[in-house]
Structure 1
């Protein structure tokens, strides 16, 4: 009886941990800052003309109906929704309900000595190690100590380690070993 109860407790605790983990991962998009290549959906309740799906281009801005230019890059989906809500409320709609949802993250790029170089869809929580795995792993000629990351803003990180966090628009370059 005690073993059954103990097993039941362990099962319940692991189930609760997975629910908490799933909830945290769902909320990650609220901390994520939008970037070029991301696709979002803006929904304004009962206002079909103000609801839209769009992909963020290199300008990082969009012309939004009624309120004009809206900066998207560098803001979280929640911040964008709050800004749209505030600007629509200022003379256009009484108490607008606005949600901004991530539909697709911008790509990341992997080049050099990996088995399948190319572009890949970003997933929250990507590290260098996970990105290399998605690209098929290292080739036999890869220099694992010569991996650089060029950020979307142009910054170059040299000789990064496996735990380096990767973001949409990043280019991972795996160097070639001479031996």
Structure 2
């Protein structure tokens, strides 16, 4: 009996620490605005047929059973869950419990004078310095002082610090130096 109690205690402690580790890497879904290329997971409690992963298309939409076409660009996962919950409650399911999480973020892009320009999977906590490292680092011709970020909403940021946070959908542009 004592052995079982110590095993359960050890499992509880390890679960506590693993849950805290996951929580520390999780992006704050309350403020994250969805956009084309994001993959979301919709979970409906006790409704396996309505629980699924979907990728938001280039026009910002998904098609969800019983609800139809949903425009998700600019909405938070919580807003989407509330909308789906209300639609399912309206004649389909009594008191549905709906959760929407981000399964995969849209990519970031690194272009210009890096060794491996291209698209890269966004990771929570990504900085400009880390994104450039993902792209293999600067080339010999890179102007390390002339780095720009075009945000997913089209805004151009110039003179950005290497510690600047990069967001899903951003494009990092590394210009060529003259010398």
Corresponding residue of 1:61: 61
Corresponding residue of 1:71: 71
Superposed, 1:11-30 pairs within 5 Å as 20=20, 22-26=22-26, 28-30=28-30
Corresponding residue of 2:163: 163
Structure 1 segments of 4 or more deviating over 3 A? 16-22
- TM-score, normalization by structure 2: 0.80
Partners of 1:91 and 1:33 lie apart in 2 by 29
Corresponding residue of 2:49: 49
Contact 2:55 2:62 in 1 (8 A): no
Q: CA deviation at 1:31?
A: 3.6
Q: CA deviation at 1:113?
A: 1.0
Q: CA deviation at 1:42?
A: 1.1
Partners of 1:53 and 1:19 lie apart in 2 by 22
CA-to-aligned-CA distance 1:20-47 (integer Å, 9 cap, x gap)? 4542323634442222111112122233
Partners of 1:70 and 1:147 lie apart in 2 by 36
Contact 1:28 1:124 in 2 (8 A): no
Partners of 1:68 and 1:159 lie apart in 2 by 44
Superposed, 1:108-119 pairs within 5 Å as 108-119=108-119
RMSD of Structure 2 on Structure 1 (CA):
2.2
Partners of 1:44 and 1:18 lie apart in 2 by 25
Partners of 2:54 and 2:68 lie apart in 1 by 15
SS at match of 2:102: strand
Partners of 1:23 and 1:128 lie apart in 2 by 23
List runs of 5+ in structure 1 lacking aligned partners: 1-15
Corresponding residue of 1:144: 144
SS at match of 1:28: coil
Contact 2:114 2:174 in 1 (8 A): yes
Partners of 2:104 and 2:156 lie apart in 1 by 25
Q: CA deviation at 1:50?
A: 2.3
Aligned residues: 164
CA-to-aligned-CA distance 1:136-174 (integer Å, 9 cap, x gap)? 111121111111111222222122221222112111110
- TM-score, normalization by structure 1: 0.80
